[in-house]
Amino acid sequence: MSLSTSARPAAQAAAPAFGALGVPAPLVEVLTSAGITTPTPIQTATLPDSLAGRDVLGRGRTGSGKTYAFLLPLVARLAAGSGRRTPKRPRALILAPTRELVAQIDESLAPLAAKYGLTSRTVFGGVGQNPQVTALRAGVDIVLACPGRLEDLMGQGHVDLSAVEITVLDEADHMADLGFLPGVRRILAKTPQRSQRLLFSATLDSGVNQLVKAFLHQPVTHEADSAQSPVSTMSHHVLHVTAADHLPVLTDLLAAPGRTVVFTRTKHRAKKIARQLNSAGVPAVELHGNLSQNARTRSMDAFHSGAAQTLVATDIAARGIHVDDVALVIHADPPVEHKAYLHRSGRTARAGAQGTVITLMTDDQVRDVRDLTRQAGIKPTTTRVTPNHPLLAELAPGERTYAAPSSVSPAAAPEGSSRPAGGGNRSGARGSGRNTADAGRSGGRSRSGGSRRTGSGSGAGSGNGSGRSGGGRTSGGRSGGARSTTAYSTSSGGRSSGAADFSARRPSRGR
């Protein structure tokens, strides 16, 4: 099959309304009710072709709006089609590299699908397969899956892709980085050859191009922006610190109000830094591949709710994790290569919002950071700082507050049964599960977990047995003011587990 027969740049003029691009009126109503009225460049560029049924290859950096660029035509196609929901034979397939991204996409899909009575099912490892199998056997319209678990279920005869009308590959380059492309090729080969296929990626490396040549039919290519396109609302700073000052400087930045994502290179470092921050009175949760699915869910639950406003993560969270009002991203460990820097940094300054990116650099990292930022097309402001440097208050404004020290982060607490408030596992997976290709990266099985539970708007934390508890914390940006006090604790049978008790926050002295 040929690669691209045409390549159209994204519109630079004022974007038309969604309706003018061909989006059906009921879907426009859903978007409007969510406060989404102006298409992003990638949506403006791709929607006319994807809604017309053409194969589309879309490139746009993280945060550019790719999710709605493929969800809108997917839902519109199924709603207009004559296909019927049948057991084991979904009508649409969305593939994504990580469980967190699958859940995020499902959350965005839910109100669109509900408008037409369409059903969906998330499929990924790290949880028991029985709820997934039961849903597939009953029949669903849309499957959102990680490649490993989907291939596993296909091999067991639980799902048949012969009725798929439209397939979406999201973050295709990240799937290539994780080694998923062989499985993706096998999955795509089981879908109808001339069914519609949409592929979205931040970059178009050789592995992705090979996938395009093999499975997309005369695709129209749209490049909304380069992976290296600078974001005008994002400021970049490199803080040159000594090894001894690394943790104190990090702690000072994180004690300010507002949500922050901290990135580390390894799972061990993420776990260690999260524990150090909690011991210093800065509520933090961790997200990395060694956590079970329940632990990962609790971490994201706490971060979404504001119970913990610091998320310490490896690159697993650099793609797909969207949380409103992340005003600060900190590279506690500079990434190895520039693509990781750009994807990590994309957790802030999304959809035109303001954001700050800080890289902590020690003496032995000077050359690496200089090469990294040059390759990323970034010209950061570099400053040598100590824990009391005034620049810290400028980058992370607001009163520094600290909780009663805790040596255990919420993710390390005993596993409970709460589900993410907007997450994707609708049927409520039980905990044990297979370590498929995507599940194996999570490092283990989740032992328990019941049905998905939706907490009240300001509910904080995750519950063990007795449900969620704790008051909500304000989630505003870093515009100053003290962070509101909250308690984040886990309990079992009414007794505190001692995990991350974030109550009794106190203002710092002498700052």
Domain finish residue from 223, 253, 275? 223
Helix-helix angle 366-375:338-345, to 10 degrees: 70
Number of domains in the chain: 2
Least confident stretch, 151-155, 321-325, 350-354, 506-510: 506-510
Q: Say whether both 234 and 219 belong to one domain.
A: no
CATH number, position 150:
3.40.50.300
Q: What is the mean pLDDT of the chain?
A: 77
- In this prediction, residue 344 carries a pLDDT of 77
Residue 434 lies in a domain: no
Tokens of 239: 């803080």
Angle at 142 between CA 139 and CA 145, to 5 degrees: 110
Compute the 3-state secondary structure of the chain and give helix, strand, coil in percent, each to the nearest 5. 35, 15, 50
Predicted confidence (pLDDT) per residue in 26-36, tens digit:
999 999 999 99
Q: Say whether both 459 and 344 belong to one domain.
A: yes
- Distance in angstroms between the alpha carbons of the first and the last residue of the chain: 64
Residue 439 lies in a domain: no
Residue 478 lies in a domain: yes
Q: Say whether both 146 and 265 belong to one domain.
A: no
On the question of pLDDT at 485 being above 50, the answer is no
Q: Say whether both 36 and 97 belong to one domain.
A: yes
Tell me how far apart the alpha carbons of residues 353 and 234 are, in angstroms, rounded to a whole number: 8
- In this prediction, residue 479 carries a pLDDT of 41
On the question of pLDDT at 122 being above 90, the answer is yes
Domain finish residue from 202, 223, 244? 223
Q: Say whether both 202 and 261 belong to one domain.
A: no
- Dihedral (Cα; 66, 70, 71, 76), 10-degree rounding: 150
- In this prediction, residue 438 carries a pLDDT of 43
Q: Say whether both 280 and 207 belong to one domain.
A: no
The boundaries of the domain holding residue 195 are 6-223
- Per the CB < 8 A criterion, the answer to whether 431 and 397 are in contact is no
Angle at 503 between CA 289 and CA 483, to 5 degrees: 85
E strand or H helix at 30, and its extent? Answer: helix 25-33
Residue 423 lies in a domain: no
- In this prediction, residue 467 carries a pLDDT of 38
- In this prediction, residue 407 carries a pLDDT of 52
pTM exceeds cut of 0.85: no
Predicted confidence (pLDDT) per residue in 146-171, tens digit:
999 999 999 999 999 999 999 999 98
Q: What is the mean pLDDT of residues 128-134?
A: 96
Residue 446 lies in a domain: no
Q: Say whether both 318 and 459 belong to one domain.
A: yes
Residue 455 to residues 84, 113, 298, Cα–Cα distance (Å): 34, 22, 13
- In this prediction, residue 406 carries a pLDDT of 61
Pairing between β-strand 401-402 and β-strand 506-507 as defined by DSSP bridges? antiparallel
- Dihedral (Cα; 486, 492, 495, 497), 10-degree rounding: -70
Q: Which amino acid is at 349?
A: A
Buried residues in 157-181 as b, exposed as e (16+ CB within 10 A) = ebbebebbbbbbbbbbbbbbbbebb
Residue 158 lies in a domain: yes
Residue 102's nearest CA partner among 128, 79, 78, 71 is 71
Residue 1 lies in a domain: no
Tell me how far apart the alpha carbons of residues 15 and 492 are, in angstroms, rounded to a whole number: 52
What percentage of the chain reaches a pLDDT higher than 90?
48
- In this prediction, residue 14 carries a pLDDT of 52
Domain finish residue from 223, 241, 270? 223
Pairwise pLDDT comparison (411 vs 341), residue with the higher score: 341
On the question of pLDDT at 39 being above 80, the answer is yes
Tell me how far apart the alpha carbons of residues 281 and 291 are, in angstroms, rounded to a whole number: 23
- In this prediction, residue 355 carries a pLDDT of 77
Q: Say whether both 267 and 132 belong to one domain.
A: no
- Per the CB < 8 A criterion, the answer to whether 60 and 72 are in contact is no
Residue 428 lies in a domain: no
